[in-house]
Amino acid sequence: MKDKNLGIVETKYFNFAEPPHELELESGEKLGPITVAYEAYGKLNKKRTNAVLITHAFSGDAHAAGYHKGDDKPGWWDSMIGPGKAFNTDKYYVLCANVLGGCSGTTGPSSVNPKTGKPYGLDFPLISINDMVKAQSKLIEHLEIEKLLTVAGGSMGGMQALSWLIKHPDKIKSAIIVASAIKHSPQQIAFDEVGRVSIISDPAWNGGDYYGGKTPANGLALARMVGHITYMSDRSMMEKFGRRIRDVGERHKFNTGFEIENYLHYRGSNFVKRFDANSYLYITKAIDCYDASEGKNLSELLYGTKAKVMVLAFKSDWLYPKYQSKEIVKACKVAGIDTTFCEIESTYGHDAFLLEIDEETQLIKHFLEKVVQAG
């Protein structure tokens, strides 16, 4: 159904925090100038009330839907964004921005530090989920949108939606939080730390100073391999790969040739082509340190919030298990927020938020209609 797609789209760039007006980060450090890479699909209505912000997961980017010129593959949530889709571009003006600290157009550790004329590397300041959202809010201001119809995202994108709900409750009418958490559990932190150590142990990482030379490709690929295990479920791996062996030439004496091994290597080496190792470090640190409740009771931070909330979880998601979604739901309900929760039956694990399109579409469509109707 190509005709139901957005066709060719382009990434745009918004610059702010130009000297001397730097952005103050949550840590107190200052950063500027900042570029935010973003894409926009559909049309902003005259009242500027139909804008939807999609917040991406850890390794996502601004290219959420449609095709970049010459590309075979569409944006990462194309099945959800477009004419007649969940985020219906016939009705809504859909935005997605690459996060601060990222490596797909928005200012991050691989960007040039104006003070040195060289990439920041580890001179880039530590950033937080709230900082990412602060940068997004500058974009929304720039677009003269007073209130977003919704902020929607999965995984780290859900944390950003939660941050919008807590830090900018008057600027959103609703939030859709998919397969996410108030804060990372020690198990989630542990997997991230393994990824970080994998990168840092790669001699090519070189203290973060590798731009223009050999990159820590081995470490970054290994980090991604671990990630992909956590994105799938035991069952989805069994269904997709079983113990099938496919000879792709002996990678090393101990590689058993199982398809699951080939898959992980393939995903690892593909990731290296599009992602920056330092961004991996900065962003996972931001996720691990995020605690929406700020050490308090989350519901206290949410009292008085008018926005509606939808929370979605997936049955086989063991990286962001259902109990974490239910903690969000509980805090919202205790705060008196109009909150709806749905657990979607799925065997896909955490990846389900990218794959369980039919149910997600129905749930999100109806939710957004309700938000629009409430005015």
Active-site residue set? 155, 317, 350
According to CB under 8 A, which residues from 311 to 370 bind a second copy? 318, 321
Q: How far is the CB of 44 from a second copy (least distance, A)?
A: 38
Could you say whether residue 184 binds a second copy (CB under 8 A)?
yes
Could you say whether residue 266 binds a second copy (CB under 8 A)?
no
Select 193 or 343, whichever has its Cβ closest to a second copy: 193
Of 173-181, 225-233, 309-317, 353-361, the window that binds a second copy (rule: CB under 8 A) is: 225-233
Could you say whether residue 255 binds a second copy (CB under 8 A)?
yes
Is residue 39 within 8 A of residue 62, CB to CB? The reply is: yes
Residues in contact with a second copy, shown as a per-residue x/- string from 133 to 172 under the rule CB under 8 A = ----------------------------------------
Site for a second copy (CB under 8 A): which residue of 5, 111, 150, 198? Answer: 198
Could you say whether residue 261 binds a second copy (CB under 8 A)?
yes
Site for a second copy (CB under 8 A): which residue of 7, 84, 114, 203? Answer: 203
Site for a second copy (CB under 8 A): which residue of 29, 49, 211, 289? Answer: 289
Site for a second copy (CB under 8 A): which residue of 291, 327, 338, 343? Answer: 291
Could you say whether residue 297 binds a second copy (CB under 8 A)?
no
According to CB under 8 A, which residues from 95 to 124 bind a second copy? 122
Which positions touch a second copy (CB under 8 A)? 122, 126, 183-187, 189-191, 193-194, 196-198, 200-203, 218-219, 222, 225-226, 228-229, 232, 234, 237-238, 240-243, 252-256, 258-261, 264-265, 281-282, 284-285, 288-289, 291, 318, 321
